[in-house]
């Protein structure tokens, strides 16, 4: 566990203009002695840090599908806030992966999503200074998904939605899904695209063996495919007001964006949909979480998409990182404004969080 003294010690080693103060009190579910948590301050400005990539499960919704929570950290309790304090995350945008209801028939999917969104809203309502919620939707039934998003945002106060990188083999750019994108654009809310693996590749056996390739490679590949279709099929031209964030820093797309432009120059016959911009330019209107792990990875992501498009992602409770805040504070070459934007300012605007 990291103590506050250690956090303050790290702060003195951080870049000039950055300091931590300990004036915040943690919210505790019990009446035990409150523990002070280190706050992040950049150049004298307190920054509310926001993690856009934070998973949870609602056990009652899983039960509707005959399933149980397999990873206890997914159930929200006081421990979650303790870890957020240790990692200096002020607010998590909680969301739920749709892989367990994507294939459910319409009525069951409607029940699961309704229960899930209501329970998620309840959690956020009890601790509004630490959690906001991204709704679940039944994307396999796009008209229902649009209604669910409207209900979740307007009645339950959720701030957007999480969708997979495809749904049962249907690409996110498929015209069948236009009603959902139209609703998300109309409501002006964030859609977080989180991959659900690449089942087609898994079926081929090519991702078997050591290395957890279904996740290591399969997840970023799924996001890369999803974002590429949204660009190349003209979905982002059709719905220019969409606010979309790609998980895991958008997969491989930002690290190889120029190839998309070069393809259309090299083989214009392969680019059958006329776009309003160069393919790589759409990256500057998308958002990406910061899950690239190294300062060089973050520097390159900033160079490709702009600091204004990057938000913190931890993937909690999966133990990919405990240092998402330090990652942004310690990457050389960023301005204070860049750091403030990435740590929480941009995510707060996207999620309607008061700063
Ligand atoms: Zn995740």
Using pLDDT thresholds of 50, 70 and 90, give the confidence band for residue 100. very high
Number of alpha carbons in the 13 Å side-chain half-sphere of residue 113: 33
For residue 38, what pLDDT is reported? Answer: 84
Q: Give the strand pairing for 287-289 and 243-246.
A: parallel
> Got the DSSP string for 313-348?
---BTSTT-S-HHHHHHHSTT--HHHHHIIIIIHHH
pLDDT over 70 (residue 324) = yes
pLDDT over 60 (residue 14) = no
Euclidean distance between CA atoms 8 and 123, whole angstroms: 31
Distance of CA 235 to the CA centre of its chain: 20
Distance from Cα 4 to the centre of ligand 1, integer Å: 28
Percent above pLDDT 70 for the chain: 90
Distance from Cα 245 to the centre of ligand 1, integer Å: 12
Distance from Cα 293 to the centre of ligand 1, integer Å: 14
> Do 251 and 221 contact (CB within 8 A), yes or no?
yes
Beta partners for residue 302, in sequence order: none
Q: Where are the alpha helices (DSSP H) in 139-234?
A: 142-154, 178-187, 199-204, 213-216, 218-232
188-221 pLDDT per residue, tens: 999 999 999 999 999 999 999 999 999 999 999 9
Both structure tokens of 342: 């990435």
pLDDT over 80 (residue 33) = no
**If you ran DSSP here, which 8-state letter would residue 303 be given?**
H
Which residue is it, tokens 């409770």? 317
Q: Which residues neighbour 165 within 8 Å (Cβ) at sequence distance 6 or greater?
A: 172, 193, 194, 195, 196, 222, 223, 225, 226
pLDDT higher at 294 or 70: 294
Distance from Cα 9 to the centre of ligand 1, integer Å: 30
> Do 208 and 266 contact (CB within 8 A), yes or no?
no
When the pLDDT of each residue in the chain is averaged and rounded to a whole number, the result is 91
pTM of the model: 0.90
Q: CA–CA distance from 31 to each of 1, 26, 37, 127, 204 (Å)?
A: 22, 11, 16, 15, 54
Cα torsion 114, 115, 116, 117: sign: positive
Distance from Cα 22 to the centre of ligand 1, integer Å: 30
For residue 165, what pLDDT is reported? Answer: 98
Q: Give the strand pairing for 170-171 and 190-193.
A: unpaired
Distance from Cα 224 to the centre of ligand 1, integer Å: 15
For residue 36, what pLDDT is reported? Answer: 66
Distance from Cα 269 to the centre of ligand 1, integer Å: 36
Which stretch of 28-32, 43-47, 319-323 has the lowest confidence by average pLDDT? Answer: 28-32
> Do 132 and 170 contact (CB within 8 A), yes or no?
no
Both structure tokens of 139: 């994307």
For residue 37, what pLDDT is reported? Answer: 76
Euclidean distance between CA atoms 325 and 89, whole angstroms: 8
Distance from Cα 323 to the centre of ligand 1, integer Å: 16
Containing 214, the helix (H) or strand (E) segment is: helix 213-216
- Cis peptide upstream of residue 317 (ω within 30 degrees of 0): yes
Distance from Cα 283 to the centre of ligand 1, integer Å: 20
Q: Which protein residues have a CB closer than 5 Å to ligand 1 (ion)?
A: 315
Euclidean distance between CA atoms 270 and 90, whole angstroms: 46
Distance from Cα 273 to the centre of ligand 1, integer Å: 31
pLDDT higher at 120 or 31: 120
Distance from Cα 154 to the centre of ligand 1, integer Å: 26
For residue 29, what pLDDT is reported? Answer: 38
Using pLDDT thresholds of 50, 70 and 90, give the confidence band for residue 116. very high
Distance from Cα 320 to the centre of ligand 1, integer Å: 9
Distance from Cα 53 to the centre of ligand 1, integer Å: 6
Distance from Cα 266 to the centre of ligand 1, integer Å: 35
Distance from Cα 315 to the centre of ligand 1, integer Å: 4
Distance from Cα 274 to the centre of ligand 1, integer Å: 33
134-165 pLDDT per residue, tens: 999 999 999 999 999 999 999 999 999 999 99
Distance from Cα 222 to the centre of ligand 1, integer Å: 13
Using pLDDT thresholds of 50, 70 and 90, give the confidence band for residue 128. very high
């Amino acid at each position: 566990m990291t103590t506050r003294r250690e956090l303050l010690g790290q702060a003195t080693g951080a870049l000039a203009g950055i300091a931590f103060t300990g004036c915040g009190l943690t919210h505790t579910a019990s009446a035990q002695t409150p523990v002070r948590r280190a706050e992040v301050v950049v150049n004298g400005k307190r920054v509310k840090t926001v993690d856009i990539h934070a998973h949870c499960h609602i056990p009652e919704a899983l039960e509707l599908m005959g399933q149980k929570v397999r990873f206890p950290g997914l159930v929200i309790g006081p421990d979650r806030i303790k870890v957020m304090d240790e990692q200096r995350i002020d607010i998590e945008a909680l969301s739920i992966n749709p892989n367990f209801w994507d294939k459910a028939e319409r009525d069951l999917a409607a029940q699961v999503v309704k229960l899930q969104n209501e329970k998620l809203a309840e959690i956020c309502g009890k601790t509004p200074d630490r959690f906001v919620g991204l709704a679940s939707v039944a994307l396999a039934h796009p008209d229902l998904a649009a209604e669910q998003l409207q209900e979740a945002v307007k009645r339950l106060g959720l701030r957007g939605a999480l969708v997979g990188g495809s749904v049962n083999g249907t690409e996110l750019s498929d015209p069948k899904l236009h009603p959902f994108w139209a609703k998300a654009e109309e409501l002006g809310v964030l859609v977080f695209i989180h991959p659900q693996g690449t089942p087609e590749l898994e079926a081929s056996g090519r991702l078997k063996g050591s290395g957890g390739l279904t996740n290591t490679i399969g997840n970023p590949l799924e996001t890369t495919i999803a974002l590429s279709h949204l660009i190349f099929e003209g979905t982002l031209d059709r719905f220019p007001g969409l606010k979309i964030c790609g998980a895991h820093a958008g997969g491989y797309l930002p690290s190889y964006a120029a190839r998309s432009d070069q393809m259309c120059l090299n083989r214009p016959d392969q680019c059958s949909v006329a776009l309003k911009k160069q393919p790589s330019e759409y990256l500057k209107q998308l958002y990406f979480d910061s899950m690239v792990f190294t300062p060089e990875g973050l520097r390159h992501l900033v160079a490709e998409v702009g600091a204004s498009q990057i938000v913190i992602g931890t993937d909690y409770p999966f133990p990919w990182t405990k240092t998402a805040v330090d990652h942004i504070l310690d990457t050389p070459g960023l301005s204070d404004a860049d750091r403030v934007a990435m740590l929480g300012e941009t995510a707060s605007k996207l999620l309607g969080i008061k700063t």
